Amino acid sequence: MKTSLSVLFCLIVCCYSYAQNYTSLANGSWTTASNWSNSSGFGAATPSLTGTHNSGTAIVNHNLNVTGNYVLGSATLQINAGKTVTISGDLTVNGGGTINVSGVLQIDGNVTLNSNLNILPGGQVIVRGNATVVSSTYLNVGTNVAPPAYADLIVYQNLISVTSGDITINRNGRVAVFGNVTASGGGTLFTVNNGGQVYVNGNINFTGGGSNIVNNNTTSPYGLYVNGTTTNSGGGSNTTSNQANSATLQSTNPSFFSWVQNASSITLPIQLLYFIGKNENTVIDLEWATASELNFDHFEIEHSSNGLNFTTLDTKSGFGENTHETHAYHYSHAFHVQGINYYRLKSVDMDGQFEYSDVIAMEADAPLEVSTFPNPAHDYIIVKTNFVSNASDRISLTNSNGTEVLRVSVSAAETKIELSESLPRGIYYVQYKGTAMTKTTRVIIE
């Protein structure tokens, strides 16, 4: 008996002594050692991303970025209020693991829950891919305390239950699924408790039998809104009748409708406050500002002379991977075309995903110009106009004897002419002849 107790005592001591506890110290990359404090005194400098953090707790008090996938072992991840963890790949919670979210958890890939994800009041989880709950009551949104604050879950693709993975939305929980909610294998319990609010843009489709879709909201607003159809097939299945669609959502629950509308735009890596242009003499000044930048890398400023075909003028780096402060940007475009100029912003996040801003149009009244450079030239000559060329416009190259040695069509506002190595060096004349204007420029080819 003493031997058994001794062995049990040793096992308990070993279990606790090998718990690895971490607390974040600074914003930045998850894998930067200086961003973490390991209070255990042993083990890795940062919490494992590969499923080997199997005991203890990682407490997030800062904004941290995970590049690639994150697999949580049987430890606990705690994201505190006002802090953001961004995962560029997939998130998997292994058996015994727990994630408690009071801040923001953003996953650019898919989520697989083999254990607990608890979204607490004030917390928000954003899943760009699918979210899959594998058996048991592993997805819990909110608590039974009256809001505010709310606990939010936004899934941009599908919410999936397999082998009886249960989903519970409590009193202060809000959920928006922009794909479908599906369950296979039977025995799934999808529960919206009184006060909880759920919007499904697609369909709910449960198969396998024995599943329950329960909405405990008994009065309008109903709290469960399905834009498509609800199917719960198989023996022993039950679906409560108090559901509504998006039209009812808009008319009876405007505050939740507004939240769903806002949630549908969260995919942008930035929140753009404004994008405007100003005509300053011969220069068009572009100004814009962001209210937040999440997992954000840079802007590409794009220009078009016809509103259809855009080219990149320049890039502007973001102010940080995760910032919730207002930041202003500026770009001056001196070589615009005469007439209407079209501009847009391409916002690119750390993973190469991007979104476009609205297009703005600016009218320039500058005089028509044709410029030729470089001069002297070696391998090529560029002819650039500040107006839209006509399909019949031509550029010719003539030598000092008046002999035309080259002629090209004008394909864009900037035409590059490659010079043959066999072309004699000397003085030449570049003539732009078009419907809008004709101009001849003397150049030296060396």
Relative to beta strand 311-317, strand 296-304 is: antiparallel
Q: Taking a C-beta distance cutoff of 8 angstroms, is the pair 266, 154 a contact?
A: yes
Distance CA 290, CA 40 (A): 40
The helix (H) or strand (E) run that includes residue 252 is helix 246-252
CATH topology agreement for domains 271-364 and 370-445: yes
* 71 contacts 52 by C-beta, under 8 angstroms: no
When pLDDT is averaged across residues 314-331 and rounded to a whole number, the result is 84
Res 7 pLDDT > 50: no
Which range (30-34, 172-176, 221-225, 409-413) has the least confidence?
Answer: 409-413
Retrieve residue 356's tokens: 């476009």
For range 109-132, the mean pLDDT: 95
Going by pLDDT thresholds of 50, 70 and 90, the confidence category of residue 2 is very low
**Count of positions (residues) in the chain:** 446
Backbone angles phi, psi at 258, to 5 degrees: -65, -40
CATH number for the domain whose boundaries are 271-364: 2.60.40.10
- Listed by start position, the domains of the chain span 21-265, 271-364, 370-445
Angle in degrees, CA 349, 101, 319, rounded to 5 = 30
Answer yes or no: CATH 2.60.120.10 is held by domain 370-445.
Answer: no
Place of tokens 């940080």: 320
pLDDT above 90 for 107 = yes
CA distance 386 to 93: 57
For the chain, give the mean pLDDT. 87
More confident residue, 130 or 137: 130
Q: 146 pLDDT exceeds 60?
A: yes
> Average pLDDT of 216-234?
87
**DSSP secondary structure string, 102-137?**
SSEEEESS-EEESSEEEE-TT-EEEESS-EEEEEEE
Which of 91-100, 253-262, 268-277, 337-346 bottoms out in mean pLDDT, i.e. has the lowest?
A: 268-277
User: Does 144 score more than 80 pLDDT?
Assistant: yes
> What is the C-alpha separation between 320 and 218, in angstroms, rounded?
46
What are the pLDDT digits (tens) for 400-438? 888 898 898 887 778 888 898 888 999 999 998 887 778
Contacts of 352 (CB under 8 A, 6+ apart): none
pLDDT value of residue 357: 83
Looking at this protein, which amino acid is placed at residue 364? A
Bridge-partner residues for 302, per DSSP? 312, 344
